Amino acid sequence: MTATPAGASASGTVADAPRGELDGRGRLVVADRVVERIAAQAAAEVDRATGSPRRLLGVAVGSAEDRPQVDARVDWPVATVSVVMSVAWPAPVLEVTEQVRRHVTERLAALAGVRTAGVDIRVTALPGPRSRDRRVS
- The pLDDT tens digits of the residues spanning 105-121 come to 999 999 999 999 999 99
Does residue 2 or residue 126 have the better pLDDT?
Answer: 126
* Residues 119 and 81: beta-carbon distance below 8 Å: yes
pLDDT band at 58 (very low <50, low <70, confident <90, very high): low
pLDDT over 60 at 16, yes or no: no
Question: Considering the chain, what is the average pLDDT of its residues?
Answer: 80
Helix (H, G, I), strand (E, B), or coil: what is residue 136? coil
Amino acid letter at 81? V
DSSP letter string, 70-118: EEEEEETTEEEEEEEEEE-TTS-HHHHHHHHHHHHHHHHHHHH--EEEE
- Domains annotated on the chain, with CATH: 28-125 (3.30.70.1350)
For 35, what's the count of Cα atoms within 13 Å in the CB-facing half-sphere?
Answer: 26
| pLDDT score at 66 | 76
| pLDDT score at 97 | 97
Does residue 5 or residue 56 have the better pLDDT?
Answer: 56
pLDDT band at 90 (very low <50, low <70, confident <90, very high): very high
* CA dist., res. 116 & res. 124, Å (int): 23
Q: b/e per residue, 21-58, with b = 16+ CB within 10 A?
A: eeeeeeeeebeeebbbebbbbbbbebebbbbbbeeeee
As a whole number, mean pLDDT of residues 52-58 equals 65
